[in-house]
Amino acid sequence: MKTKLVILFFAISCIAMQLQAQSLQVSAELKELIELTLTRDHKMAEKSIDKQIAEEQKTAVRSAYLPKVELGGKYVFAYSSVNSDIGEVEGFESLTKLQEFMQNPAFPVMFPTLAGLSSEIVKLQQLMAQQGMQMPAFSNNIDGSMYGNYVGIDATAKILLYSGGQVPNVSKAISEKIKVQDAMSEKYASDAISEVILYYDQLALLNQSKSVLDESVRRLEAEKKYAVSALNNGFATSFDTLKIAVATANLEAKISEYENKRTLLYEKLSQLTGKPAASFEMLIPQLQPLVYTDTVSDISNRAELRALNAGVEAQKYLLKAEKSHYLPKVQALASVRYDNIFNATTDFSAPMPVKMNINNVGLGPTVMAGVGFKWELFDRSGGTSRVKQTTLEIKKAENARDEAYELLQLNQVKVRTTYQITISQIAFKEKQRLAARMALDLAEKSYRQGMINITERLATETEMQNTELEYLQAIFAQRQSAVDCCKATGKLTVSNLR
């Protein structure tokens, strides 16, 4: 009768699940624990931070088109001495010849006015010589010093007009990187859901296993009372009561072991969800089979594959960016500059004695505006090498994606096969359990009628315990297998939990 109920349960569940394909029916308290875990999962938090970093990187790349304004200024006090031999100076040969011609006797006759001027210059030189003065004379050397103050201010605005395709392609590559982070975040969420269900089911398994053992303890206590009564009436021996006491102690040891395991599960669930460990003592989860209906056996929605596909696309965009390395980059530029020299002095003794004080010399404001471009025509160590490296990275990423696809396909076949086996195991263990319970009822009656001894009676009790525990273990394995099937197609998400 119970076998028919199990089959009926699976049939009804399958009909319901076809309406909600690839979803899992979980209890409200388990779904709450899953949601709490997802808010605390460290790996998901890490991927969320990685995504934010990638978004900031994308913003930084796109900001290359925003204008950049620079303001600079400086004050300098400078001193410099100059001492140089400039060698022979050409271009003044005509002046020398003119001087020689003016000393020719024919010059006063031909140019009487200029002749008088030249004699006046000679008289001026003689007078200056008497006073210790002389006319300035040029030499081939430069000798002197310069010092003073300088202030300069400049403002420049630049804006990128055309990047050669690098900026949009790098931006698209980062967008694909963000898809990778999203996919990996979903993958870690799926892992977290699977982990919570595992520990929750383990807790249910321990609770129900303890119930089985408690039931055995109660039966053995009843048998112990009967054995004591039979011993007093001469129908049993002290060995019978001793065997029952040993069996009872063994059960109590198992119960104690289960209690310790349950305490560890409380701590683990507390770590995952953030709830106090004591709050889980009130949980009484029950193991019920999970039905998985695979209407679409497609693994393309697996987060790992989507992450690898996005990684390949990101490398392709980077390749486009590297190939555009040789395209010209165009930039607009505008600047305003002002320069000022003040409190400056120059003092030269050659090529002629000169000393000059400069109070102020202002240059500007000087305004410049225009468009410039940069075109790298040949860069063997740059563009060509990076193009080859990126091409190899694409091949590497594609190879990793293909390998992952094959492994995930194999995993899907494995979990589907395991799921079918676990369903068969539940039906098989249910029959074993019913047979063991019937054998136990018969053994209890036979023992009381003296048809079997205490060893045979305890053997049926142990068999009953084992079949009950194996049945619970079969349900536990089936639930985990259903979770693995849902996970194999990338459907283990909160939205697919009912």
> Is 25:289 a contact under the CB 8 Å cutoff?
no
Does the pLDDT of residue 96 top 80, yes or no? Answer: no
Phi-psi region of 20 (alpha: psi -120 to 50; beta: other; left: phi over 0): beta
Does the pLDDT of residue 111 top 80, yes or no? Answer: no
Q: Is the pTM for the entire model greater than 0.85?
A: no
Sketch out the chain's domains with CATH numbers.
2-40+164-321+381-496 (1.20.1600.10), 92-139 (no CATH)
Q: Determine the pLDDT at residue 298.
A: 80
CA–CA separation, 296 and 489 (whole Å): 9
Candidate from 38-47, 96-105, 227-236, 342-351 with smallest mean pLDDT: 96-105
Angle between helices 385-448 and 166-232 (to 10 degrees): 10
Please report, for residues 293, 321, 345, 403, the alpha-carbon distance to residue 389 in angstroms, rounded to integers and kept in the order given: 45, 13, 60, 21
| Residue type at position 195 | E
Q: Determine the pLDDT at residue 85.
A: 66
Does the pLDDT of residue 391 top 50, yes or no? Answer: yes
pLDDT tens-digit series, residues 112-141: 665 556 666 666 666 666 666 555 555 566
pLDDT tens-digit series, residues 75-84: 898 888 877 6
Does the pLDDT of residue 174 top 60, yes or no? Answer: yes
Does the pLDDT of residue 4 top 50, yes or no? Answer: no
Does the pLDDT of residue 245 top 80, yes or no? Answer: yes
Between 162 and 113, the higher pLDDT residue = 162
Q: Determine the pLDDT at residue 425.
A: 94
Does the pLDDT of residue 388 top 60, yes or no? Answer: yes
Candidate from 153-157, 197-201, 265-269, 288-292 with smallest mean pLDDT: 288-292
Between 166 and 12, the higher pLDDT residue = 166
What band does 13 get if pLDDT is binned at 50, 70 and 90?
very low
> Is 437:464 a contact under the CB 8 Å cutoff?
yes
Q: What percent of the chain has pLDDT over 90?
A: 35
Does the pLDDT of residue 358 top 70, yes or no? Answer: yes
Candidate from 11-15, 140-144, 299-303 with smallest mean pLDDT: 11-15
Q: Determine the pLDDT at residue 384.
A: 75
Between 22 and 247, the higher pLDDT residue = 247
Q: Determine the pLDDT at residue 3.
A: 45
CA–CA separation, 163 and 371 (whole Å): 14
Does the pLDDT of residue 146 top 90, yes or no? Answer: no
Average pLDDT (289-293) is 84
pLDDT tens-digit series, residues 439-484: 999 998 888 888 888 888 889 989 999 999 999 999 999 999 999 9
Does the pLDDT of residue 15 top 70, yes or no? Answer: no
Average pLDDT (139-155) is 82
> Is 185:45 a contact under the CB 8 Å cutoff?
no
CA–CA separation, 376 and 325 (whole Å): 8
Does the pLDDT of residue 20 top 50, yes or no? Answer: no
Does the pLDDT of residue 33 top 80, yes or no? Answer: yes
pLDDT tens-digit series, residues 320-353: 888 887 788 888 888 999 999 888 888 877 666 7
Mean of all residue pLDDT scores within the chain: 82
Q: Determine the pLDDT at residue 277.
A: 92
pLDDT tens-digit series, residues 35-50: 999 999 999 999 899 9
